[in-house]
Amino acid sequence: MIKAKIYRFDPDRDKKPFYKEYEIPVERRVTVHELLNIIHRDYDGSLAFRTFKCYKGMCTTCILKVNGKTVKSCAHPLDMDAEITIEPVENGTVVRDLVVDFKTM
Amino acid sequence: MDIQTLTTDVVVVGGGGAACRAAIEVAERGMSCIMVDKGRPGRSGATPCALWSIQAPFGPRGRDERDSPDKFFEDMVRAGRFIGDQNIAEIVANTACDRILDMERYGVRFKKYDDGRFYQTPMPGQTYPRSCFMFENGQHMSTILAKEVSRHDSIKVYKDFFAFHLLKKEARVAGILGMDMLGGDLVAINARSTILATGGYTSLWGFSDNPPTLTGDGVGMAYRAGAELVDLEFNQYYGTDVIWPPSVRGTVVLYELMIQEFADGEITDRDGNPIIDKPLPIRDEAIKIIFNVIREGRGTEHGGVLFDTTKSPKGEQAVRDVFNTMTPKHYHFLIDAAGIDLAKVPLEVAPASHYQCGGVYINERGESSVRGLYACGEVEGNFQGANRLAGSALCDTQTMGAQVGGCAADDAKRGDLVPFDKKDLHGTVDLVKGFMEKKKSGLRPVFLKEEILRTMDQYVAPFRDAGGLEKGLATIRGIREEIGKISVPDVGRYNLELREAIETVLAVDAAETTIGSALFRTESRGHHNRTDFPEIDNKKWRCHSIVANKGGNPSYSKRDVIYTRLRPDDE
């Protein structure tokens, strides 16, 4: 069971950001990017994140903060009992939830 | 939902190598340009997934002085099994070197010999080693091209912009309609010329090595606008993509690295018997060998074969140095994401969806069959033929990107800005709004998309037959009937599910026309293998397959391939 606290914020609707907690059973180690896809598909379709990935850890489109540290979510595997906080990176303004309008190319 | 209208001379749809190069050419010819990128500029489309290899026949300025544009042309035509249009192949072959020098001028770093000649790697199907070597691979190329785009004041880039409809005025295309994902507004762009550079639709298959966003926007839009599509049955698989573990499923590991010059390893069956002889075969042959080993029951636990460098006579450290030099990022990605060191353990790999040889039918100026609409890069259809060589895709993005960008700009100079038909606009806007209405039995698009991907994996793999294709077609037509039941949240900012809903509409068109084209071609050639028609049939089928939207239904026909210089050996 992975326990994930995820940053949620829609500036059009929410006065301020909040965290939503998810408990996701997994049968193998998954990466953070896989976890977000599982949540979006099976638990909460309203979660916004960047689905794009290059399969090689090259493009950095999927970067996020996991427990305060910036990681490539596609290349960051989680333990099957991980407890994590997922937040958007600070390199830009938050569009919604984990999606950032990146300042730099 | 507000609708904003913008105007420009040329609108370029896409954000990868071909889109950037087309936009640069438009700007250099003094015309204004809007480029709309579905994702993050410089990190979008399939170009960031590419490796080092971009072909150019530098000859004396490269590794082998005997190489020439003529040899490049001939290699391409033969690899394409004589289905590629040679008027386009000539442009690619003759301008490749100049376009690579452009890239170098923009800042792309190539490996060189000490005397300044281009270092080039040998790849299967190249008479002489012809693949120039880009450090940091396709991601580097993407970023540098996007930076070059940003240097032009006359190019306005809209990032995170999902284009999904071609706006028309009677029989011509007059621009596009799309959604600004950041704010959620719809934006109509009225243009003199519209260039599709949306890439392929590799990820219409579940097992793919390309970004999940590539599910057929380009061909879907073109088909709906009435443009002819060509050779869609030739969806290229790549032989050796990771099939296990799932966290890195779809990552390319290059069988081209198995030659003695590099890792000197082997692709083997489950028991370690080598299955691919050297010199290495080109891609359509390689996948056939691998598929056959798997079908004979000699595959691995998860349905693949082994990518094995552990018995290389060069030794572990030398092999590691090869991966670190040739494909450093993804060598480390496999270690980080899955704890797999390619130099130490054999990896389970299998053929996965990799590239579309077919796409929008164009002439040598990039014009589609609909006035005002152009295509370049992977979404263009008729030059790779039935198969393509390593390093031809990136080369095509630059050569045809520049060629088509230039022609679209020249035509824009002479042409009027024709306002699009408002009825066309409002009809599409209503479709989008319909998805956001609350429905009793609302369907989530993610599940419809998954079903499309499963169907393509199951029935439209490189080995296919009429029975399977008919089943696939019936499933896709069933999904089309379900589209009206889709319901997504009414959210403005980054409405991922709304994007998925619209992508599903376009993906259904891409899937139906691809399956139909595979049914239409009753022979086996290149990446299209009909088990019920296992032989190549040059008499009936050395031609293009064309599909076009006739009154809402796909209509299939044949068209002659354009041969300018090289006739097949048997003619």
DSSP string, B7-18: EEEEEEE--SHH
| pLDDT score of A57 more than 90 | no
> How far is B363 from A85, CA to CA, in rounded Å?
53
- Contact between B147 and A105 using a beta-carbon 8 Å cutoff: yes
Residue B556 in tokens? 């299939």
Indicate the residue of B212, B488, B493 with minimum beta-carbon distance to A95: B493
Residue B279: is the preceding peptide bond cis (ω within 30°)?
yes
Residue with tokens 């609708």: B3
Distance CA A4, CA A22 (A): 5
Residue B443, classed as helix, strand or coil, is strand
Q: Is B88 exposed, middle or buried (0-12, 13-18, 19+ CB in 10 A)?
A: buried
Beta bridge partners of B84: none
Q: How far apart are CA B49 and CA B353, in angstroms?
A: 13
Place of tokens 């460098």: B309
Cα–Cα distance measured from residue B361 to residue B263, given in angstroms and rounded to the nearest whole number:
39
- The CATH architecture one would assign to domain B241-353 is Alpha-Beta Complex (3.90)
Domain positions in chain B are: 241-353, 422-556
Q: Which of A10, A27, A54 to mutate to test the interface with B (most CBs of B within 10 A)?
A: A54
The C-alpha atoms of residue B156 and residue B32 are separated, in whole angstroms, by 8
Q: Do A58 and B332 count as a contact with CB atoms less than 8 A apart?
A: no
Which residue among B213, B245, B494 sits closest to A99, beta carbon to beta carbon?
Answer: B494
Confirm or reject contact between B247 and chain A (CB < 8 A): yes
pTM for this entry: 0.97
CA-closest candidate to residue B195, choices B16, B463, B429, B431: B16
ω into residue B124 within 30 of 0, thus cis? Answer: no
B496 interfaces chain A, CB cutoff of 8 Å: yes
A98 CA: distance to closest CA in chain B (Å): 10
Q: How much is the average pLDDT of B53-66?
A: 98
Q: Kindly determine whether residue B446 and residue A74, on different chains, have CB atoms separated by under 8 Å.
A: no
Give the other-Cβ count within 10 Å of B29's Cβ.
19
Task: Quote the tokens at residue B16.
Answer: 């990868």
Considering just the CA atoms, what is the radius of gyration of chain B in Å? Answer: 23
How many beta carbons lie within 10 A of that of residue B86, not counting itself? 23
Q: Which of B15, B17, B30 is nearest to B103 (CA)?
A: B17
The domain containing residue A17 runs over which residues?
2-102
Contact call for B209 and A55, based on CB within 8 A:
yes
Average pLDDT over residues A4-26: 97
Whether residue A48 lies within 8 A of chain B, CB to CB, comes out as yes
pLDDT band at B1 (very low <50, low <70, confident <90, very high): low
Answer yes or no: are the C-beta atoms of B384 and B84 closer than 8 Å.
yes
Chain segment B245-276, per-residue pLDDT in tens: 999 999 999 999 999 999 999 999 999 999 99
Q: Which pLDDT belongs to residue A29?
A: 95
What tens digit of pLDDT does each residue of B465-502 get? 999 999 999 999 999 999 999 999 999 999 999 999 99
Residue A93 belongs to domain with CATH number: 3.10.20.30
What domain count does chain A have?
1
Contacts of A51 in chain B (CB under 8 A): 212-213, 496
The answer on pLDDT for A105 being more than 80 is: no
Report whether A6 contacts A47 (CB < 8 A).
Answer: yes
Q: What is the pLDDT of residue B227?
A: 98
Residue B376: left (phi > 0), alpha (psi -120 to 50), or beta? beta
The CA distance from B269 to B304, in Å, is: 8
Q: To probe the interface with B, which of A2, A30, A52, A58 has the most B CB atoms within 10 Å?
A: A58
When the pLDDT of each residue in chain B is averaged and rounded to a whole number, the result is: 96
Closest Cβ–Cβ partner in A12, A77, A97 for B337: A77
Q: Is B199:B46 a contact under the CB 8 Å cutoff?
A: yes
Spatial contact of B391 and B55, defined as CB atoms under 8 Å apart = yes
B 110-129 → A contacts, CB under 8 A = none
What is the distance in angstroms between the Cα of A92 and the nearest Cα belonging to chain B?
Answer: 12
Mean pLDDT of B367-385: 97
Residue B155's pLDDT is 98
- Which residues in chain B are closer than 8 Å to A48, comparing Cβ atoms? 493-496
Cβ contact B147:A62 at 8 Å:
no
Q: Do A61 and B493 touch (CB under 8 A)?
A: no
- Indicate the range of B305-319, B419-433, B548-562 predicted with least confidence: B419-433
**Residues 6 or more apart whose Cβ sits within 8 Å of residue B503:** B164, B215, B216, B217, B445, B449
Q: Choose among B48, B159, B493: nearest Cβ to A58.
A: B48
Tokens of A96: 């919604």
Q: What is the pLDDT of residue B32?
A: 98
- Among the partner-chain residues A75, A97, A102, the one whose CB lies closest to the CB of B333 is A75
CA angle B104, B106, B112 (to 5 degrees): 20
In the predicted model, is pLDDT for residue B571 greater than 80? no
Q: Does the beta-carbon distance from A41 to B496 stay under 8 Å? A: no
Q: Is the ipTM of this complex over 0.90?
A: yes
Q: What percent of chain B has pLDDT over 70?
A: 100
User: From the CB of residue B341, how many other CB atoms can be counted at a distance below 10 Å?
Assistant: 17
What pLDDT, on a 0 to 100 scale, did the predictor assign at position A50? 96
**Domain B422-556 architecture:** Up-down Bundle (1.20)
Please give the Cα distance from B307 to B309 (Å, whole number).
7
> Is B263:B325 a contact under the CB 8 Å cutoff?
no
User: Looking at residue A55, what is its pLDDT?
Assistant: 82
Confidence of residue B2 (pLDDT cuts 50, 70, 90): confident
pLDDT > 70? residue B60: yes
| Spatial distance between the Cα atoms of B212 and B214, rounded to a whole number of angstroms | 6
Question: 3-state DSSP call for residue B306?
Answer: strand
Strand partners, B490: none
